[in-house]
Amino acid sequence: MEQSKHLEHSIDRVSPEPFYAQLSRLIEEAIDRGEYGPGERIPTESELCRNYNLARSTVRDALRSLEDKNRVRVIPRRGAFVIDSKDKGAGWVLQVADGFFEGEVDHDRRNVETEVLEAKTTGFSGAAARALGLQDGDKGFLLRRLRRLDGEVALLSVNYLLPELKDIVLQSDVMQRRGSLNRVLKGNGYRIYGARRTVEAVGAPEDVSEFLDVQPGSPLLLVTSISWGEDMRPFDYYTSWVRTDVVRVTVVASADPTSLQRP
């Protein structure tokens, strides 16, 4: 589509309404008029900055507002895409900044409950240490949780976090049944700027099967992820064993396979 068809109105520089809120409203009105269809990318940050003479931070605040209202989904390095309001049940969408909690609760209005199995400072090694830029044996903060979806056991997750995140997590609602780690980290300045996630089909190991109420060897998805902030510093590495008979997992594909990799 030509840019002239979109966002015809300008920012009112004397209005008490914040600039980011005005831009968010203009984009939302354009979506409601059908000028951006489901799955269509809206103008890039650079285009919005240039077209409306706004700072990049203001544009990002507008996009975050739209994301919080579930009007767009922001995919790092690809842009912001319109969410189909009729598209329910997408489940846990990988390759975006949302976690399992946001995908199921915010998008699909389902009930997620969490049981914290383990939360402690411990030495990291192997893949977890490498992902976080630590040496084998360096201390980090480990969080092991069992997640239920609408009362059914859904996934077992282990987050390996930077050691400075310990107090943030322990003093937050992450430790409660309905806490969201992703939301707490975002609220404390650890917003996901990029992530690399892999998915593989595996048989349930015996220790995992006990937690997930399945037979050893039962088919599961193993999701592995590393997330980093705008400074490109990784802060969260996790593995999740997922029961696909309970959780629907959607993968967002990119035409450029390097678009979600760290530079």
CATH of the domain at 205: 3.40.1410.10
Residue 236 has a pLDDT of 96
pLDDT digits (tens, 9 = 90+) for 191-209: 888 888 899 999 999 999 9
* Tokens linked to 92: 């846990």
Which of 91 and 1 is assigned the larger pLDDT? 91
Instruction: Output the average pLDDT for the chain.
Output: 85
Q: Which of 21, 51, 82 is the last residue of a domain?
A: 82
Give yes or no: residues 176 and 142 share one domain: yes
Residue 194 pairs with which residues in a beta bridge?
228
The one-letter amino acid at 208: V
Range of the domain at 50: 8-82
pLDDT digits (tens, 9 = 90+) for 246-259: 887 776 655 544 44
pLDDT digits (tens, 9 = 90+) for 7-50: 557 898 888 889 999 999 999 999 888 898 888 899 999 999 99
Mean pLDDT of 108-126: 89
Q: How far apart are CA 240 and CA 158, in angstroms?
A: 6
pLDDT at 114 over 50: yes
Residue 259 lies in a domain: no
**Number of independent structural domains in the chain:** 2
Q: How far apart are CA 248 and CA 222, in angstroms?
A: 13
pLDDT digits (tens, 9 = 90+) for 70-89: 788 888 778 899 987 655 45
Residue 179 has a pLDDT of 85
Q: Which of 82, 100, 129 is the last residue of a domain?
A: 82
Give the containing element (helix H, strand E) for 235: strand 234-242
